[in-house]
Structure 1
């Protein structure tokens, strides 16, 4: 069998969908920096990311692990795809099963190496279980009731991987346990709903499945609109004036407005397709809702980053959305 072309490789790893991945790391880094600010209870919001090179390295690690999961998915589903998706690289004969497995193995090794090289032991402590969940999902859990939970755990761990990128004195203190968790929960909930929905891409689904996904989207949007919580550190000011200074008022108007705009974009991008799937839960509508859910991660990530006080970083993440939509028309993200 000839060596797969670049186009086949892009299809095998769902290359365009990787644009939704670096935002996970940025969400984790932003949430951790914001947590450090809240624990300190005073001063201006920290410059973020504190270590850009580390953040970029962990984002690259995350992309490698994502691509590994996509290649491994096609390896694991090669027999099923002969029936349901014969146009994919393996059943169509454009790539071999051995090549897909080798690619997944190599990308996993690269992802772990990048995590260790750029983030050290803290990053590896998150990257190793992340890689384990990816392999467990593709090889064993995908078609079980635990499948959506496993995928949600993978994206949540991806956010927590980003939380290891920002290391400040405050972040190493009381906020360490909480850093990145709110972002991980939001991204994980969205991923759970999208993964559950994806099971009906070929055959369609009962109306209750897209309805559940729509409910999750509404709940996540409500959290985004509600804005950041008040400080929880015992060291935070307790007087009314101090609490006001350390709480949501510290989130500048540009950041707050940007967060609301991205939250609205998330609800529109994801919710509209899910409403259509509720009305007509056919395979085509479900695929559209799943595709919208994958690309909808970008405005979700941007909203989480903005509400953590980093509107410029949020805008950088959101800038990838038009390109993602364009590339998704050429290479399916599902």
Structure 2
């Protein structure tokens, strides 16, 4: 997520997590890389491919797994590039981060971003031509966001596009292994684009809040994000389901409600007190809420079993985020 410098009030070695300040990890090696790559946020990634497969009308298959692997690599490339790009800001705002603290050099972070990008494109190539084309666009968006667009007005839109493309890659990869690809199934392209749009809208809202997480904001910022969460929950719980009902419809509605609860609660607190600690907590909640949103999209597309597997990632994401911040 984008970060901006907080002028005049650096807090050496401290970060707010869950509303309270904690010291930055002082470990080196694996601990430093886990912090740089924000490993707790990895749980929010595989569900993009699963939701894309469901929206394309297919069960997850081997190529879905390859697409998820590509997504993980490209996501982590973005995390490495994020800290490389923000190293001068972090030197003032978060000096305990791995690069300004000297635990990881800028060159190594940049190299990690390049290697992870190459690995992601390689996995996408193994998943099919459509997946590779989408992954190439996704990789370009990730690099453009981190190195150029993050602190511009286009930043939230770039992040939104990246998440949407990630879901589309899962759809393209899964369909390429099927006898009934997306282009031969009436209405499926529309469903894939709807699902990508809802996931992108959620990402746009969270990114917009994250741009103020170290500065504070007016209540209007989290309030607008709260409204977006409500609209996305309504879409995920109903619009994509169309005429679906019964167990599938109820499962989708329940998962959409879980998404709304996960994202909305910290946003309500931030509306009441839009201070940096509560805005950061709202961003963390928004990142974790991606998981039940992916599950809702999968369930409403008729794959409640796969959606349940995605939703099962949420507790692990919450536990690990208490050790390694996802923001």
For the aligned pair, the TM-score class normalised by the smaller chain equals: 0.7 to 0.9
Aligned position for 1:187: 199
Q: Give the C-alpha shift of residue 255 in structure 1.
A: 1.7
Check if 1:80 corresponds to 2:89: yes
Aligned position for 1:155: 163
Moved more, 218-227 or 108-117: 218-227
Aligned position for 1:214: 226
Distance in 2, matches of 1:228 and 1:147, equals: 27
Quick check: 2:267–2:282 contact (8 Å CA) kept in 1?
yes
Aligned position for 1:115: 124
Whichever of the two has the greater Rg, that structure is 1
Aligned position for 1:253: 246
Aligned position for 1:12: 36
- 1:207-232 Cα distance to aligned partner (Å, 9 max, x none): 111111001001111112324354xx
Q: 1:179 to 1:261 in 2, by over 3 A?
A: closer
Moved more, 6-15 or 99-108: 6-15
Aligned position for 2:307: 314
TM-score (norm 2): 0.88
Q: Give the C-alpha shift of residue 179 in structure 1.
A: 4.9
Distance in 1, matches of 2:157 and 2:54, equals: 24
Quick check: 1:28–1:179 contact (8 Å CA) kept in 2?
no
Q: 1:127 aligns with which of 113, 131, 135?
A: 135
Consecutive unaligned residues of structure 1, counting only runs of 5 or more, are 34-45, 231-247
Check if 1:172 corresponds to 2:165: no
Q: Give the C-alpha shift of residue 84 in structure 1.
A: 0.7
Distance in 2, matches of 1:290 and 1:299, equals: 15
Quick check: 1:171–1:179 contact (8 Å CA) kept in 2?
no
Distance in 2, matches of 1:66 and 1:303, equals: 22
Quick check: 1:67–1:107 contact (8 Å CA) kept in 2?
yes
Q: 1:175 to 1:116 in 2, by over 3 A?
A: farther
Q: Give the C-alpha shift of residue 172 in structure 1.
A: 3.0
Q: Give the C-alpha shift of residue 54 in structure 1.
A: 0.5
Moved more, 160-169 or 99-108: 160-169
Consecutive unaligned residues of structure 2, counting only runs of 5 or more, are 1-26
Q: Give the C-alpha shift of residue 252 in structure 1.
A: 5.3
SS in 2 for 1:178: helix
Which structure 2 residues correspond to residues 211-250 of structure 1 after superposition, within 5 A?
211-228=223-240, 230=242, 248=243
Distance in 1, matches of 2:322 and 2:30, equals: 17
Aligned position for 2:23: none
Q: Give the C-alpha shift of residue 319 in structure 1.
A: 0.4
What count of residue pairs does the alignment treat as equivalent?
297
SS in 2 for 1:296: helix
SS in 1 for 2:309: helix
Q: Which runs of 4+ in 1 moved over 3 A?
A: 174-177, 227-230
Which structure 2 residues correspond to residues 263-278 of structure 1 after superposition, within 5 A?
263-278=256-271
Distance in 2, matches of 1:4 and 1:67, equals: 18
Check if 1:203 corresponds to 2:215: yes
Q: 1:170 to 1:109 in 2, by over 3 A?
A: closer
Which structure 2 residues correspond to residues 100-111 of structure 1 after superposition, within 5 A?
100-111=109-120
Distance in 1, matches of 2:38 and 2:210, equals: 15
- 1:182-208 Cα distance to aligned partner (Å, 9 max, x none): 110010000000000001111111211
TM-score (norm 1): 0.86
Aligned position for 1:42: none
